[in-house]
Every structure is written in structure tokens, then in C-alpha cells.
Amino acid sequence: MPGPGRRTNARPRATGTANNPSATSSAQADSLIADIDNADGWDRVVNVLCDYFDLPDIATRSGLKKVHANFDNIYRRLDKAYNGNTSNVRLKGGIVGIYARMCVDAILRNKLFQRGFLAQLFPLLDEPSCRHLALRALTTVTHHGGIEIRMEISKWYRDLLRVLKEFSDDPKTIELSIITLSHCIVAALSEDGIKADPKLGESLDLKDVAGTVTDALHKPFPSRVLVDHSVPLIAVSTLNSQAPPSAVKFLVAGLRSKDWIFRCTCLGGLFLLHREEAESDQRLLDPTKMMMAMSRPAPPHLNAILSSYGFQQCESYLTMKTANDFQTAMMDCIRTRDLYSLGILLAEFILRTEFSISEGYYETDNPGTGRRENMDLGLPFTMWSDALPHCARAIRANGVPAEADMADVVEMKFLIMKQRIPDAVKIANVALKRNPDFAYAYYVLTLASDPVAGLRAAKKGIKCTNITPFVRFQMMQRAVDQAGEMGIHILQDSASEGDKKWEEGIAFLTSALEDSKTYIAHAPPDNRHMKNVLYWNILLRVAIEEDISPDVRELQGSIRKLKIADDFSNWIGVSPPKTQLRLTQQTVVRLFPEASEEWGEFVAKSSRSDVASSSPEKAVDDLAAWLGDAHLEGEDDDHGHSHKSATFNSANLELYRCSWCRNPSAALRKCAGCSKTRYCDAACQKSDWKGHKKACTANKGGS
Ligand SMILES: [Zn+2]
Ligand SMILES: [Zn+2]
Ligand SMILES: [Zn+2]
């Protein structure tokens, strides 16, 4: 390939200048202009300039080092030429090309930026002969530049949008502008970008960005590189904005892409869509209000559903019954004063339903004052919840080893009610050493703030053999929530963290989807977490499952169940909060048919292998191609995002799942026997051994 990096001796050199850097005579300058005017293509222009200014070979690391050593001198001469020849755009373009190439080196890049490189570059966007060159310089600089450079260039985004709109019939202009916009705006809106300069992110008119980019994608089918850069750009542009409908539909349709990076980026983008307007999830209810509502009969259609599930297993029945049982137990305690027996009863209530221990106290009419007052019965507590630690102590004092779990259940419940989660977690960890099959202790661990540990505990807890339905479903909905949230978070980051990340993200989402299905099939229909699990279920089925028709008929069962879950909420007097998850789910279901209509073909086509990797270069863009290839030998590619597309291989997901509890994690330990199956830890491996033993020996022999 011809280019400034490979000078040929066949062409005439600008004689007399090569060894005389101080030459500034007008005759020499005239000969430079003539050489530039005669040069055939940008690579020749740059060659002429490199010779004239006696620059080292800037395509090599050693050449850039020489530039470094003599930077001020070189820059002064180039700058003088740029400013002295205001009408010669070829000369200016050549100089900007040289600067862009120097930008591969971080120190030179910073020096050039400080000296106003962008102010020299951007005017060239309006010069027809220089536009591609200037845009290519921007893609190169943003490709190699770190986040500061990308953020700096994102301040010029309006110029890029203007060019995109003005030259919307030139595929190369579209491609290069969108690549640059993508590099810069994604950086400005990244976590680090927002931390470094929150005002910059807020100043961007994302509605304009998303709208302009989607308009450009409606043109004849673009190149691979354009699709790869558009998807993350549209996905971040939905943040903080009233995203244009076409852009939202693009993200919804993208959920069905065969390319998993495309798919996952869209899912991440859809989650940002409703972030600002969403209400917080008020799943913490006032139990007294809830019980008053439950004492009214359920509407007939809900009653039929409760009946077919079995009234006595339903949440509402268990809540009411347990409230009564608890009252009775507390009253009996006045007579028996037996805290041990009370404790054993409370432990059973706690494992039965969520609102098992209500706040109450013994009260009586004081005939002297005529008021109801606390009654002193000589018990060691006044508030009923304060009975719990005394009951735990009484159970332990009784000394039956088989009852140790019950004492812990009662004490941990007390600590949870007092919001002392870390103290409850301490007890749970000690208890699990004693009894690894202690489901409620795992449940307590799911309440801790570390989501990774929480998910792991939930997955292990679900596998416990000695477990009540309440504790099991409680952990299952935690597992759906936590795996779902972590999966989305990993996918939102995966663009900037490379290849492996998205597979890990899918493993989390797959785990969430599996648990959501079990939960929906088996949990009580009036369980208050049902809605949330259905939101995840519907979203993840669209994003993960293979066959979803444009009319989403496969989802109708889940959609119907969600309607019922909403009716249950309304029955107990709590209208479903408009959470981020709920709104996202609604957007996806509502727009899916239209999205398939508008973008279905585009999405299908984008993952085909016969798509051109980039739009064709014209002959005049030969330097642009040279810039596009710019990288130094041995240089780490700090581009920061993957341009590879990814097809789905479900076998890979197994690398991220524990073979026993199915916990998704990137930090599993391989079985030492076969080095194939993976586990959270020795406990999971031990539990799985009975089932795995055979396969392990077989695998070992086979490999
Ligand atoms: Zn890129
Ligand atoms: Zn495990
Ligand atoms: Zn093994």
C-alpha cells in the first residue's frame, strides 16, 4: 500500500529542504505549494510535507520519539504553514493528517490538543476535499485517545451532527461521523465520564443524537462498522432524554438480533430509558393496612385463582392465619410465662410467612385515668417484638441441639426487624457452619448489601432440603432480582470491558429467567413479589429466548399473569408502583410489533456475514485508509470496545454456572478431578459429588 510510511524514491522530492529545516525562502515555499498541488492523493501531500519539513517517519515508534525530542520546533513550522496558507486547504488537510498520525502517541496527542488541534481540524469538515480526511482523523484520534480526548471531542458533537444531516447521502461521511460520535458520547456518558465531568453529559442534546443517528440508519443498509458503533450510541442516547420513538423501537427490535453484543447493548439501553421517571419499588408494605384489605373478600376471578392454587397455601391466607396465631401465642404467654414454648411457635411462624411478627404490646384499661395503657405483666419485654431475643435465649438454655436453628431463626428475625442486617448475617454465617442445610440462614445472607454474595446464598438456599415454601420463594425472587440486575449491569459495562463480559452477563440473565419460570409456575398467585418476577420473565424471554413472534403471542401467558398480579395488588390496596422494571417491560411489550415492522429487516441483515465491513474508500481517501490503520507495533489496542459480533453458544454459559446450585458467576472453581464442571466452593462440589462422580471419572478418562 502506498503511503507516507513507505516512501518511494520514484517521485521527485522537494529538493533543498530536506537537510535544511530553517529554509523559509519564498521560492522554497512556492515549490512546496506546487508540489502539494501536483501531488496525487493525500498520501502524496503528506509525503511532500514530511519531506519539506524533514519529519522523521511518523508511522514508526522511533520516528515519533524523534518528533518528541524536537516537538516545539516541528510544531512551530507546521503551525506557521497552516496559518500562513489560509486558502490552501490541501496543505491544511495534509498538516491535520500529520497531526492525527502523531496523536497515536499519547504525549504528542496531549501537546497537540493543548495547542488547539481541534480548532484546526473542525473547520476542514466544511471543505469538500478535506471532509473525509478530517473525519478519518477524528475516528483515529478517538480510537487511540483515552477518555479525556474523547470527552474533549464530544464538546464538538453539534458540528458532527450538522455534517451528518447535511451530507446524509454520503455513506462515508455518515460512517465516520457516527464512529466518532459513538466513541465520544459513549465515553462522556460512561460512569468514569460522568464522574470526571457531569456537566458535559448533561449538556448533550441526546434526543438530537439519537434521532439523527437513527435517521442515518434508515438509509440504504450501512456497513458493519457503522452498525457496531451505532448500537451503543443509540443505547446511551436514551439516557436522561425523551428518546425519539424510532430510536426506542430500534433498541426493542435489537433484542432479537442474532448478534449477542447488539442484543445485550439494546437491553442495557432500554433499562436506561425509564431511569429518571421511575418510582421506587415500594414493596415494603404496611402490614396492618394489608391485613385490613385482605379481610375483605377477593373479587370472584381472584378468588377462583386462589381456590385452584389452594387457599391454605396462599399468601393472603397464611398472613391472616399467622397474625391470629401470633396474637393467640402472645396471649397464652401471659398465662404460661413459657418463653421456650413461645420461641418454638414463633420460629414456625417466621418460616411460614413474611409478616409473622407484628408490633404489639399488652394493654389494659386503667380505671384511674380512663385510658388504655401498657400493662406490666412482669414479663421481660413490653413490645412484642422484643420478646424474640428472650425466646431465643430460652430455646438455647433448653440445650436441645436439634433446636439450635430455631433459636437462630428467632434471633435473626429480631435483628432484621430492627434493621440490624450485619448482626443477623454474623449469626447466619456461624449457623451455616453448624448446619449447611439451614435455609433461613441463607435467606438472611441474601439481605446483605453485597449482591454477588447475596445471589450465591439465594441459589444455595433454594437447594436446601429442609425448607418451607415461603423461604424458598422468598429466596427465588431475590435470586431473580439479583441475577437480573447484575446481568444488566455487566452487559451495560460489557461494551467497555471486552469480549468475555457479555457471556458472563448472559449467564446471569439465564439464571434469572430460569428462576422466574419456576417461581411463576409454583409460587402463590397472590405473592407480592409476583409482579416483579413477571417483569423480569417477560423482558428476559424477549431478550434470551429463541422464538418470539412479532405479535409476542408466546408471551401472552405471562402478560395475563401480570394482569392478575396487578389485580391482587389493587385488592390489597396498593396500586403497582411504576418501577423502572415495570416501565421497561411495558415499553418492550407495547412497541415490539411496531419495532419488528420498522427495524426487523435491518436487525436481521446486520448480523449476516455478507455485510460489508466498511463503506468503500474513494481513491482520494487513500491517506484516510492509512490513518485508519494507524497503530504502532507492540501497542496495546486501547480502543476500549469490541467490534466483534458474537453468536450464541450455550455451552459457553456453563463456564459461568455452578454445576450444583446453578449460581452464575465468573469466579467459579473447577473440579480438580475432571477440570470441567465448576462450583461456587467446596460445599457445592461436595453436594454435587453423588451425581457428578460418574461423569467426572468418564471425563477424566476421555481427555
Ligand atoms: Zn470504535
Ligand atoms: Zn454453587
Ligand atoms: Zn469432576
For 314-360, the pLDDT digits (tens) are 998 999 899 999 999 999 998 899 999 999 999 999 999 988 888 88
What domains can be seen in the chain, in order of their start residue? 26-206 (1.25.10.10), 636-702 (no CATH)
**Cβ proximity of 388 and 411 under 8 Å:** yes
- Starting from the CA of residue 184, give the closest ligand: 1
Backbone angles phi, psi at 664, to 5 degrees: -85, 135
Residue 685 Cα, ligand 2 centroid: separation in angstroms?
Answer: 7
Give me ligand 3 centre to Cα 662, in Å: 16
pLDDT band per the 50, 70, 90 thresholds, residue 625: low
Helix (H, G, I), strand (E, B) or coil at 363: strand
Q: For residues 341, 346, 351 and 356, what is the CA-based torsion angle, rounded to 10 degrees? A: 160
The pLDDT value given to residue 49: 86
Residue 645 alpha carbon to ligand 1 centre in Å: 13
Among the bound ligands, the one closest to the CA of 181 = 1
Q: What is the dihedral of CA 11, 15, 21, 27, to 10 degrees?
A: -120
* For range 374-396, the mean pLDDT: 88
Ligand 3 centroid–CA 376 distance in Å is 62
pLDDT of amino acid 169: 86
Cβ–Cβ under 8 Å, residues 226 and 613: no
Higher pLDDT, 440 or 610: 440
Please tell me the distance between residue 670's alpha carbon and the centre of ligand 3 in angstroms. Answer: 8
| Distance, C-alpha 499 to centroid of its chain | 14
User: What is the end-to-end Cα distance of the chain in Å, rounded?
Assistant: 47
DSSP type of residue 615 = P
Q: pLDDT of 552-566, one tens digit each?
A: 899 999 999 999 999
Task: Please check the confidence at residue 125 and state whether its pLDDT lies above 60.
Answer: yes
Q: Is the pLDDT of residue 474 over 90?
A: yes
pLDDT at 35 over 80: no
Q: Confirm if 60 and 54 have CB atoms less than 8 A apart.
A: no
CA of 688 to the centre of ligand 3 (A): 10
Span 3-8, average pLDDT: 42
Q: Which ligand is nearest to the CA of 463?
A: 2
What residues pair up with 664 in beta bridges, in sequence order?
657
pLDDT, tens digit, 9 for 90 and up, residues 411-452: 999 999 999 999 999 999 999 999 999 999 999 999 988 888
CA 364/CA 382 separation, integer angstroms = 13
For all residues of the chain together, what is the average pLDDT? 84
Q: Which ligand is nearest the CA of 458, by number?
A: 2
Closest ligand to residue 685's CA: 2
Most confident among 64-68, 115-119, 191-195, 620-624 (mean pLDDT):
115-119
Instruction: Indicate if ipTM > 0.95.
Output: no
Does residue 29 have a pLDDT over 80? no
Q: Which helix (H) or strand (E) holds 373?
A: strand 372-374
Higher pLDDT, 81 or 439: 439
Across 287-306, average pLDDT:
84
* Contacts by residues 197-205 (CB-CB < 8 Å, ≥ 24 positions apart): 197/151, 200/151, 200/154, 200/155, 201/240, 202/240, 204/154, 204/157, 205/158
Task: Tell me how far the alpha carbon of residue 143 lies from the centroid of ligand 1, in angstroms.
Answer: 6
Q: Which residue type is seen at 27? A: A
Using alpha carbons only, give the angle 256, 273, 567 rounded to the nearest 5 degrees.
85
- Which ligand sits nearest to residue 183's alpha carbon? 1
Which cell numbers hold the place of 419?
434493621
- Separation of CA 460 and ligand 2 centre (Å): 6
Ligand with minimal distance to 660 CA: 2
Q: What angle do CA 534, 535, 538 make, to 5 degrees?
A: 80
The DSSP line for 662-685 is: --B-S--EE-TTTS-SEESSHHHH
Cα–Cα distance measured from residue 383 to residue 366, given in angstroms and rounded to the nearest whole number = 18
Q: Mean pLDDT: which of 238-252, 513-527, 622-636 is highest?
A: 513-527
Closest ligand to Cα 640: 1
Please tell me the predicted confidence (pLDDT) of residue 539. 94
Q: How far apart are CA 564 and CA 647, in angstroms?
A: 37
Span from the CA of 640 to the centroid of ligand 3 (angstroms): 36
Give me the percent of the chain exceeding a pLDDT of 70: 87
For residues 511 and 9, give the distance between their C-alpha atoms in angstroms, rounded to a whole number.
63
pLDDT at res. 322: 93
Where does the pLDDT of residue 44 fall: very low under 50, low under 70, confident under 90, or very high at 90 and above?
Answer: confident
Dist. CA 276–CA 241, nearest whole Å: 9
> Ligand 1 centre from 144 Cα, in Å?
9
Taking the centre of ligand 1 as the mean of its atom positions, its distance from the CA of residue 250, in whole angstroms, is: 20
d(CA 591, CA 603): 15
pLDDT at 302: 94
pLDDT band at 504 (very low <50, low <70, confident <90, very high): confident
CB of 21 closer than 8 Å to CB of 54: yes
Q: Which ligand is closest to the CA of 459, given by its number?
A: 2
What is the model's pLDDT at position 334?
A: 87
Cell (9 digits) for 322? 399467622
Interatomic CA distance for residues 641 and 142, integer angstroms: 12
Given this model, what pLDDT does residue 13 score?
40
The answer to whether 262 touches 607, Cβ cutoff 8 Å, is yes
Question: C-alpha angle with apex 522: 534 to 487, nearest 5 degrees?
Answer: 40
* pLDDT of 471 over the 90 cut: yes
Per-residue confidence (pLDDT) for residue 611, from 0 to 100? 61
Q: What's the CA gap between 329 and 311, in Å, rounded?
A: 23
Q: Which residue has the higher pLDDT, 346 or 236?
A: 346
Ligand 3 mean position, distance from CA 692 (Å): 6
Q: Looking at per-residue confidence, does 669 or 411 come out higher?
A: 411
Alpha-carbon distance 51 to 46, whole Å?
8
Give 407-420 as a DSSP string: HHHHHHHHHHHTT-
The continuous run of DSSP H or E covering 41 comes out as none
d(CA 406, CA 350): 10
How many Å lie between the centroid of ligand 2 and the Cα of residue 663? Answer: 5
Contact 155, 124 (CB under 8 A): no
Window from 43-52, 190-199, 564-573, 595-604 with minimum mean pLDDT: 43-52
More reliable by pLDDT, 388 or 272: 388
pLDDT in tens, 87-102: 888 888 889 888 988 8
Beta bridge partners of 365: 372
Of 655, 609, 667, give the one whose Cα is nearest residue 506. Answer: 655
Q: Using an 8 Å Cβ cutoff, are 468 and 351 in contact?
A: yes
Question: What spacing in Å lies between the alpha carbon of 125 and ligand 1's midpoint?
Answer: 20
Rg of the chain over CA atoms, in angstroms?
33
Ligand nearest the Cα of residue 669 is 2
List Cβ neighbours of 110 (8 Å cut-off, separation of 6 or more): none
User: Residues 540-550: pLDDT tens digits?
Assistant: 999 888 788 88
CA of 301 to the centre of ligand 1 (A): 54
* 2 or 216, which is more confident: 216
* Residue 424: count of CB within 10 angstroms of its CB: 25
Chain-centroid distance, C-alpha 389: 42
CB 658 within 8 A of CB 459: yes
Task: Classify the phi-psi angles of 634: left when phi > 0, otherwise alpha if psi is within -120 to 50, otherwise beta.
Answer: left
**Ligand nearest the Cα atom of residue 628:** 1
Buried b or exposed e, range 663-683, using 16+ CB within 10 angstroms: bbbeebeebebbebbbbbeee
Distance between CA atoms of residues 328 and 330, nearest Å: 5
Q: Which of 297, 373, 387, 283 is nearest to 338 (CA)?
A: 387
With residues binned 3-state (H G I as helix, E B as strand, rest as coil), the percentages for the chain, rounded to 5, are: 65, 0, 30
Please give the DSSP secondary-structure letter assigned to residue 297: P
State the pLDDT at residue 297: 84
Separation of CA 503 and ligand 3 centre (Å): 23
Q: What is the whole-number distance in angstroms between the Cα of residue 518 and the centre of ligand 2? A: 18
Share of the chain above pLDDT 90, in %: 42
Is residue 599 very low, low, confident or very high in pLDDT (cuts 50, 70, 90)? Answer: very high
**Closest ligand to residue 232's CA:** 1
- Residue of 498 and 68 predicted with greater confidence: 68
Q: C-alpha grid cell for residue 301?
A: 376471578
pLDDT at 632 over 50: no
* C-alpha torsion 144→630→109→143, nearest 10: -20
* The pLDDT of residue 538: 95
Amino acid at 568: F
